[in-house]
Amino acid sequence: MKKYIITGLMITLLVFSTVQAISFSINYDPLTVEFTHTVFAEDCTATWCPNCPTASEALYNIYQSGDYPFYYVELVNDMSPIGNKRNRDYSFGIFKIYAFPTVYFDGGDTNFIGKKSTVPLTEAEYRILIEQEGIRNPKQPIIMESFVTWDGNAKLTVIVNITNEGKLPYFGKIRSYVTEIVSRWEDSTGKPYHFALLDYAINKIVLLIPKKTKTITGNFDGAANHGNQTYPDITSDNIMVISTISHWIPHYRLGYDTDPYLQRYFAFFVDQTTAATPN
């Protein structure tokens, strides 16, 4: 895996929407590190949200740079019923959701709510969190590869091979997010999203035996019902399927915090990510 330089930055996670909430800092000395896994982010957003375009652009800039092993998806809450539900998965249906944009990194181990004053400043904050997640040790070392076949008539077949390289069993959930590279939905500035979630091709619990590979196959039919939406017009050159595996243990986290609002959620750490486009 590629090596990346983490410069001597004071890592400060500023969590806020329109006002500042909680903050803490972690010091890293300059060192060369190898990412333990590909990092994944989910951007909870809405087409009417005035702060969301900055977050989306910052994430896309990072992806386009190729600086990290990194993928992300847009959960467009007011347009995608499946994206809306995924956002609410973090709250377990117990807690309230207070702010857009909220970006969850690696299944919510860390998150960033709101934005900085400019795209470059927002991007800088995201890079800090991506680097932080990149050196996190997964529960077990996991190797993933995926393949996508275009079957015609807006249909896909997705195959994911997952290998548990660790010494202990791994119990978790695999999700294969079917996304449009250039989305049909636009943000509040009129620009299309990138990698907006349509639905899952695979969304299931798995048990991985040490030193064994499991192959999981799933399908997606754009003409089918996807939470009261259909996508029969998708094209093979505009689809990317991003697959993740997350460990089953929940981790309680706090996000937005300003009286009288407190954002609480459960994180399920994403331990590996892969992506593929139709062949």
- 240 plus 191 within the same structural domain: yes
**Domain limit, last residue, from 101, 134, 167:** 134
- pTM, two decimals, is 0.86
Q: How buried is 253 (Cβ within 10 angstroms: 0-12 exposed, 13-18 middle, 19+ buried)?
A: middle
260 Cβ contact partners less than 8 Å away, ≥ 6 residues apart: none
Which amino acid, one-letter code, is at 254?
L
Question: Which CATH number do you get for residue 228?
Answer: 2.60.40.10
Considering the domain architecture, whether residues 93 and 152 belong to the same structural domain is answered as no
98 shares a domain with 47: yes
Averaged over successive runs of 10 residues, the pLDDT of the chain (279 residues) comes to 38 31 33 83 97 98 97 97 91 74 95 94 97 97 98 98 98 98 98 98 98 98 96 98 97 72 86 97
Does the residue 260 lie in any domain?
A: no
For the record, the structure tokens of 123 come out as 């991007």
pLDDT of residue 9: 34
Q: Which of 134, 150, 170 is the last residue of a domain?
A: 134
Tell which of 70, 103, 134 closes a domain.
134
The answer for residues whose C-beta is within 8 angstroms of residue 178's C-beta and 6 or more apart is 156, 158, 197, 198, 199, 200, 201, 220, 239, 241
Reference 264, options 9, 22, 19, 11; nearest CA is: 22
Same domain for 46 and 24, yes or no, is: yes
Q: What's the domain count of the chain?
A: 2
The pLDDT assigned to 27 comes to 36
Give dist(CA 162, CA 173) in Å, integer: 12
In a domain, 77, yes or no: yes
Q: Is residue 38 part of a domain?
A: yes
Measured on CA atoms in the order 86, 203, 199, 230, is the torsion positive or negative?
A: negative
Q: What's the CA gap between 188 and 46, in Å, rounded? A: 8
Do 83 and 130 lie in one domain? The reply is yes
Q: Please give the Cα distance from 24 to 14 (Å, whole number).
A: 7
Full domain range(s) for residue 25:
3-134
Same domain, 60 and 165: no
Q: Are residues 158 and 61 in the same domain?
A: no
Q: Is residue 266 part of a domain?
A: no
State phi, psi for 226 to the nearest 5 degrees. Answer: -120, 75
Q: Give a yes or no: residue 259 inside a domain.
A: no
- Position 89 scores a pLDDT of 87
In this structure, which amino acid lies at residue 47?
Answer: T
Residue 132 in 3-state DSSP?
helix
Write down the pLDDT at residue 258.
58
CA distances from 89 to 11, 129, 197, 257 (A): 28, 21, 15, 19
What CATH number did the domain enclosing 58 receive? 3.40.30.10
**21-28, long-range: CB < 8 A, 24+ apart:** 21/113, 21/255, 21/256, 21/257, 21/258, 22/254, 22/257, 26/132
DSSP annotation of 222: T
In a domain, 168, yes or no: yes
Q: Are 49 and 170 in a shared domain? A: no
Residue 123 and residue 169 share a domain: no
Quote the pLDDT of residue 257.
59
Tokens 């709510």 — which residue?
A: 113
Q: Based on the domain organization, do 191 and 105 belong to the same domain?
A: no
Q: Are residues 116 and 20 in the same domain?
A: yes
On whether both 157 and 104 belong to a single domain, the answer is no
Q: Tell me how far apart the alpha carbons of residues 98 and 95 are, in angstroms, rounded to a whole number.
A: 10
Residue 255 lies in a domain: no
Structural domain contains residue 261: no
